Structure 1
């Protein structure tokens, strides 16, 4: 996944035990296509060596403002020119205080002051240091100055105490940095998404279900968060981790998913129904495990499950609704019929046998103007395109009608 392809990142390390995470962070950034230039304070070199950071970044590490490797002997200027962002991770309390007051007594603080690109800061310190009034004043001032503050996280700290102040984990920082570069087309919007399969009990140990990895729905939740939305994900059983920044509710059956959606649908701006919801449930669920006793297959009776999308679409002045259709044939016909039957303005469809459990997908958008096919790409890349398409339509159409 090349989410940061051709992005040039200056990664700054100030002194702190969290420097050990910076090597992994660098590796993850490089994996995603970023060019990473590492700049370290003298204190940072006490926790991790420049040799390590050079090995994982693939580029020389800078520690000295007088570094003669730069032809004009001005690394504080040259390193930030052409950079897409400077990320300080870890950012100590001392270094944040430097930034607030414009102090520039080493290479890292110098290039932050002389930068011509955005600055992001990932605090890392003891919980009492984080909560101290001077630190909180400094954080407020950095935000007022346009600096993005990433974190901190909460948890056990190297000193043995527990609380706020931990540097975010490397993958969390990658998610934050990736989102930073995404347009905020859904900023301020509240989005509710369903994903994954539902399972319908036959007996205490057996279920029937629809095949679904949940990858597309989870990718959409992540893309919506990247676009600035407040995202709630209601998911059936999957092995996927909750997307960073997203609130997840886990359910099993279609009825549970229906109830969870209806309990949270009020005040939502957008509802995206991606889940592979079972159309039927078992009406005669056994309270005990069914046995193979030689009398033949058990007789299973079915009853219809609630239609979640149609129910939400019928809410007066409810959220704008987007549906999904996974078909095995006649995609254009069946998807358009479903869109009209549900009473929604936009539906996304694909052929299930081509994308099931895969990391790449091909989808078409169906709306009043017809079918719009998107090129095959990773599910995350397609999800970003779909969020853009949804954002383009949101101001132009009324909410779902009853």
Structure 2
């Protein structure tokens, strides 16, 4: 016969074992998003809607073994804006083809009823969706059914908001240690440039024209103000031509202003935009891109009236770089490559491709493929 004490002891042991093998219970915590909003979310979140597919650039680093395990829906921009990375993810994780997709908030194409039906623990939105989401009363409608919304930012003010965004998503996912590891890696790689520049005597900073998505349309010239790629140029030791011409992050510089400024370096951002502008003159860059074709297209863009007479073209200092560095926490790689273009002697030992490869090896589920930048290797003005 078993004694009452032995039975109670066995029951206590069984209960303890059940607790030990059960998954951790979600805990409601207050987080602060990049807009300063206090939001209560049950963490770690298990069901997430990505308000932009390119948020996977960081989400994949947090859940490297199963990067889509929490994603129950996402905006449809990744296969359109970055089809090369999308195809690589699709080949490895074919199930993503069945993930519910959303249009953009700014386009009025976000389906609120579909979002509610997916029962997410949180919706991640980029800050540029804020005005449209306010107009649609999105936050209030989702709050009424217990779905919180948090805002992140890797594009509008990335040098203010990238680290807080990474910390926020890391906290939501219960992956704070990985987020901090990534943040430290990013900061150290930027410091390799900034510390050396700070010690360089009599540094001459070349004037740089950054053309945003050159060849995407026939117009010239979209560019950046004091943030995003404009800030990357400054951090890399250059002077952004458009810094005093564009008051915000994004804007346009007319061709006459480019000619008058006579930039010493021209950098065009490029990507695979075949889904948006299949016959465009854009420079196709990204993982596995055809760099010979990219170089040919860049050379053609350099012959437009705004650029053809500039010092940059005459001296063979015309470059193109992957556009999506502007919308991911990978900006540090772009800073390194730009620094080698602006100050080749000072940074002759910097290998941005090796840095990008290390990023993939340490944090990302996809292997590194080259194809992220290209240079016109001749003096087109001669």
Tell me which interval the TM-score lies in, with the shorter structure as reference length. under 0.3
Between Structure 1 and Structure 2, whose CA radius of gyration is higher? Answer: 1
The structure that is strand-richer by fraction is 1
* TM-score of the aligned structures, taking structure 1 as reference length: 0.24
Q: Which has the higher contact order (CA 8 A, sep 6+)?
A: 2
TM-score by length of 2: 0.25
